[in-house]
Amino acid sequence: MTSDAILLFDFDGTVCLGDEPAYDYARRVAAVLHIEDERDLLAAHAAFCKGKPTTASTFDALDPYNAVRRLAADYGIEEEIRAEAYSAARAGMAAGKFLLRSPEGLRELIWSLPRGVETVLVSNAPLDGLDSILAQIKLEGLFDEVIGDADKPDGLGPVLDRLLDGRDPSSLLSIGDIPRNDLAPAVERGCATAYIDRFGRPWPEADASGASIDELYPFIHRWTAERVA
């Protein structure tokens, strides 16, 4: 049975909140440096997470994880070391080692959706472990489909094309905090977008924007109501 509308959610920074894993990632990366460089890298990462970037490479970083990646490159840290640190931080998330949460009211929003609205979660995070994290933040079972290892932005296009097969693009709303990864591929196909602008970087192409997802709830409710008979 074809749904009337699709809500496509990003994961990190959208339905899963908490910077502890990114801080752990940064600490693991910085641990290979001399003490002064280690301190400077961690200070630059913390400044970014607080919305006050202090380095050229983090000024337009996409999110706290991308900031670590850029800082690692600044300090000449080998890609293998960085990748291992990222995997360890993600494993810690799945094991429940960090304080994570879902946005207040998100469960209620999804529960209140009219019949005929499909919910899809798409993340670049490893698929292995996503179910555990969703259980920790009390969102287990609320998504009709969970897609990990998505390789956004390039990988989002095929996902959108599959979901939209034979449907009007206006039947899909993509919700996320990184325009390049979560929203631009949807705009290219004529879909609607809702942008979580955590760091105060306006993206005019979004149909709705808010500093947090809860500010977008009224728009999401209106959008779904207009598409479900």
What pLDDT score does 129 carry? Answer: 94
What pLDDT score does 27 carry? Answer: 98
192 three-class SS = strand
Query: Around Cβ 80, how many Cβ atoms within 10 Å?
Result: 8
43 three-class SS = helix
Structure tokens at 181: 């990864």
- How high is the mean pLDDT of the chain? 96
Q: How confident is the model at residue 3 (pLDDT cuts 50, 70, 90)?
A: confident
Query: Around Cβ 101, how many Cβ atoms within 10 Å?
Result: 13
Q: How far is CA 8 from CA 49, 84, 86, 217, in A?
A: 25, 29, 25, 14
Each residue's pLDDT tens digit, 157-198: 999 999 999 899 999 999 999 999 999 999 999 999 999 999
Q: How confident is the model at residue 95 (pLDDT cuts 50, 70, 90)?
A: very high
What pLDDT score does 228 carry? Answer: 86
